[in-house]
Amino acid sequence: MSGVLCAWANIPKDSWEWYENQYIPDKSAAYAEHALHCKVTSIGMEDEPTGKLDAPWDLMTVYEMPRIDAVTKATYEKENYPSEALLQGPLKDSRFDIRTYREIKRWQQDDWEGGRKAQNFSSDTIS
């Protein structure tokens, strides 16, 4: 069963290069078909109470996994964590949150079934 693993991270900026160029590629090569690495987008309301983020995650990586059950189990294996030296050193105050999600449906081409042509709507046909 396929799915995605979502990894949120708040790590010091001086560790981003290691995270992006070593950790993510290593984990992608071992488990993922694809990975999408993202940084939180500013919304312009960060100084307003409604603009506050609920979690302090600067970074998120979404890994597409062909075998989500195996990956969910592997998530808790120590070998998939950063090394103890990194966790006690440059990543000391870092936070990670990992969640796996099983695929329910996949939008392919023009529909959920992967092939049927979608109807084109113009502003003239929508009332």
The pLDDT of residue 85:
94
Contact 57, 97 (CB under 8 A): yes
Q: In which element (H, E) is residue 99 found?
A: strand 95-102
Q: Could you list the residue range(s) of the whole structural domain that residue 97 is in?
A: 3-42+52-102
98 lies in some domain: yes
Report the C-alpha gap between 34 and 38 in whole angstroms.
13
Count of the separate structural domains present in the chain? 1
36 lies in some domain: yes
3-state helix, strand, coil in the chain (%, to 5): 30, 25, 45
Contact 92, 85 (CB under 8 A): no
What does pTM read for this prediction?
0.74
Query: Is 67 a residue whose pLDDT tops 60?
Result: yes
